[in-house]
């Protein structure tokens, strides 16, 4: 079922939800419970949910007594190995309240670039969903290198939405919608809707690096949303604090309408990696 409007998120067949590091790490770790509660409510409406969650490296920082996100690849990989374990434990502990089991899926760019691992990933997630298990997807930072990374999990989420044939994608951010310029600047206005082919070049979506614990921001969300929408997947960009409203199809955030004539999926050939 193609979701063409926000309202279709209520009771849709399958949705991918992506949450970033800054929303669930450090002093914001409490938000995991709210996100899980919203997913459980959607689960109760028979909507299949795939969660793409950043946060492995950010979760490990205080445990490893690191002041900020490490610059060197080896420490990033080590941090991811520690943080992913704790992150999954936090999710499962929260999911226990609802009797829902999580399944961890770690991917690299190569997994989706090559037909055999891509097929394996799709089959595994389809089986998890069939068993009423919540797949929690993250980039496999422990083995990824600078040359083969997705670049950010917004893009990973767009590709996962295509991989599993999702009806819609919800990209959770720190702000309630995308704006025509950084929201703290004069003249910034929220963008309600983006149609396929809309020219967004006059808007200022800001830097890719937004904080010390992760990568992302408005620019990457726009890029990922347009990637998914071009392939026929409707995308809602909104605040992590409004995830329940988002999954209930309420009129919030910025909606990227799906292309009624989807272009060839990015998963049919090599995946271009941002360098």
The CA distance from 58 to 177, in Å, is 24
| Residue 174 among known ligand-binding residues | yes
- Tell me if 192 is assigned to a ligand binding site: no
Contact 119, 151 (CB under 8 A): no
Task: List Cβ<8 Å contacts ≥24 apart for 186-194.
Answer: 190/254, 191/254, 192/254, 192/255, 193/254, 193/255, 193/256, 193/257, 194/225, 194/226, 194/229, 194/254, 194/255, 194/256, 194/257
Give the count of beta carbons closer than 10 Å to the beta carbon of residue 33: 16
Query: What does the DSSP 8-state code read for residue 240?
Result: G
Ligand-binding site membership of 223 (annotated): no
How many whole angstroms separate alpha carbon 83 and alpha carbon 88? 9
* 138 is an annotated ligand-binding site residue: no
Please, are residues 211 and 234 in contact by the beta-carbon 8 Å criterion?
Answer: no
- Output phi, psi for 208, to 5 deg: -75, -40
Cα torsion 237, 240, 242, 247: sign: positive
54 touches 20 (CB < 8 A): yes
**244 assigned ligand-binding residue:** no
Residues 6+ apart with CB under 8 A from 2: 167, 232, 234, 258
Indicate the length of the chain as a whole number: 275
Tell whether residue 167 is among the known ligand binding residues: no
Read off the tokens for 29. 């770790």
Residue numbers in the known binding site are: 18, 54, 141, 153, 173-174
Residue numbers in the known binding site for substrate are: 54, 141, 153
Residue numbers in the known binding site for ATP are: 18, 173-174
């Amino acid at each position: 079922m193609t979701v063409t409007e926000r309202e279709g998120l209520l009771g849709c067949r399958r949705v991918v939800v992506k949450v970033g590091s800054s929303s669930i790490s450090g002093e914001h770790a409490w938000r995991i419970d709210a996100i899980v509660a919203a997913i459980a409510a959607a689960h109760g409406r028979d909507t299949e949910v795939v969660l793409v969650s950043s946060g492995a490296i950010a979760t490990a920082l205080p445990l490893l007594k690191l002041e900020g996100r490490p610059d060197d690849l080896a420490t990033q990989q080590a941090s991811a190995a520690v943080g992913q374990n704790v992150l999954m434990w936090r999710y499962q502990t929260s999911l226990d309240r609802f009797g829902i089991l999580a399944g961890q899926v770690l991917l690299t760019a190569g997994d989706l670039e090559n037909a055999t691992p891509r097929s394996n990933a799709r089959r595994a997630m389809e089986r998890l969903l069939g068993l009423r298990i919540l797949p929690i997807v993250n980039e496999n930072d422990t083995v990824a290198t600078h040359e083969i990374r997705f670049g950010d999990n917004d893009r990973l989420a767009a590709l996962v939405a295509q991989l599993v044939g999702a009806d819609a994608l919800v990209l959770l951010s720190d702000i309630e919608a995308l704006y025509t310029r950084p929201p703290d600047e004069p003249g910034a206005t929220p963008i309600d809707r983006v149609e396929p082919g809309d020219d967004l070049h006059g808007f200022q979506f800001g830097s890719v690096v937004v904080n010390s614990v992760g990568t992302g921001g408005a620019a990457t969300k726009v890029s990922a949303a347009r990637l998914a929408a071009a392939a026929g997947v409707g995308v809602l960009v909104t605040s992590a604090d409004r995830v329940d409203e988002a999954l209930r199809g309420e009129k919030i955030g910025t909606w990227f309408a799906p292309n009624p004539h989807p272009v060839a999926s990015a998963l049919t050939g090599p995946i271009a990696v941002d360098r």
